[in-house]
Amino acid sequence: MNNAREALIVEALGELAVLLDRAEAVVPALDAAAKAAEQASAGLAAQAGALDASVANLMGNAKAQAIRHVARRTDELARTAGEAQTRSMKAAAQQLFREELLPAFQRLARSLDDRDRQHRWRSWWVHAATAAAASAITWCIAACALPSH
């Protein structure tokens, strides 16, 4: 039984040696994998930096476009509001003229027409009276100054 035991020990030691050889062979592969992982990590970090710069550039462009859009819309709205305000003020001025000033001007025009008609008659009466007075004075002078036959 000793021999069987020794044979098992020798066989176990042989298998252990094979396992140790395999473990030693795995170490360089693990080292290579670790280095590859580190290189990949460094590459990803560099790409992340480039991605950050690219995203920042994209955000800057988006911000600039948004600002231009807001400015353009603001200008459009200001122009539209200005035009609407101008139309509103024009309509209000026309309504004010129609409702307030036009009736006052019409009353004034009627009053001036009435006064003009009265003044024309008064003027005609003054001229007629002046002509009659001049004729009467001329007749008196002629009657007094000329010898009667």
> What's the pLDDT score for residue 73?
94
Q: What is the pLDDT of residues 19-75, one digit of tens each?
A: 888 888 888 888 888 898 889 888 888 888 888 888 889 999 999 999 999 999 999
> What's the pLDDT score for residue 84?
92
Q: How far apart are CA 9 and CA 124, in angstroms?
A: 161
Q: Which has more confidence, 7 or 148?
A: 7
Q: Is the dihedral of CA 37, 42, 45, 47 positive or negative?
A: negative
Q: How far apart are CA 145 and CA 106, in angstroms?
A: 57
- CB-facing half-sphere around the CA of 137: CA atoms within 13 A: 6
How much is the pTM?
Answer: 0.41
Over 80: is that where the pLDDT of 149 sits?
no
**Percent of the chain clearing pLDDT 70 (strictly above):** 95
Reported confidence tier of residue 1, pLDDT bands at 50, 70, 90? low
